[in-house]
Amino acid sequence: STQGVSSAASDVYKRQSVHDTPMPADTAQDAPAGHDIATALAAVRARITNAARRAGRDPSDITLVAVSKFHPRESVVAALRAGQMTFGENRVQEAADKFPPLRAQWPDLRLNILGGRQTNTAPVAVGIADMSESRDRAALCDAIARGADRVGRLPRLLVQVNTGDETQKSGVAVEDADAFITAAMARFGDAVAGLMCIPPVDQDPMPHFRTLAAMAGRHGLGVISCLLYTSPSPRDTERS
């Protein structure tokens, strides 16, 4: 839920799978398109709108990022036809195959590259992404800088903070985050757009969101991205 969303950030990103039901990787290629996706998107947008209004927020300040990993291009097209323009992928090569051919027909399409990744995929990610999330270590920042020099462009960047202190998840530790954010902003300037986190699946996400909002406010950053599990299984939304 986005109820109680802080007004400290101008943009709030809430992620949802292209389908609003669990979609195992081995069945994703058989996913239905069209009406089912449009219906799921309408339901999620209604929830976002209602939550934003309860929090005194303008729903247009909130961007829904549809996580399309494991789903074929046909499902992305169905979502685009339903008005969804921002997508999230964490498999860089899959994203590189899926999205560039769609940009000519849908120039407003936006691609977020999610999740921790090997540094050797950074040049490809930098070349195709509008936003690259989960910046959480110096080696990855180095790879992004090299990739940006190579391709001549730098996407917007989010620093991932491990607000739940979970060892199985990526992200800068809360106690180290301010120093890391300061260093990233010194290196990448305005390209550092904000912060992201993945709250523990069994906890109320709002304390984590508030921690992130306070941290973003200290650094004058306008984007907060929280991955929220809106289906029974986290497999649909959390990175592999």
pTM over 0.85: no
Give the CA count within 13 Å in the CB-facing half-sphere of 152. 0
> Can you name the residues that pair with 161 across neighbouring β-strands?
172
pLDDT in tens, the chain (240 residues): 232 333 334 444 455 444 333 333 333 344 445 669 999 999 999 999 999 999 899 999 899 999 998 899 999 999 999 999 999 998 899 999 999 999 999 999 999 998 766 677 888 899 999 999 877 888 888 889 998 999 999 999 999 999 999 888 889 999 999 999 999 999 999 999 999 998 998 889 889 999 999 999 999 999 998 887 655 444 444 332
C-alpha to C-alpha distance for 234 and 5, rounded to whole angstroms: 22
C-alpha to C-alpha distance for 162 and 176, rounded to whole angstroms: 10
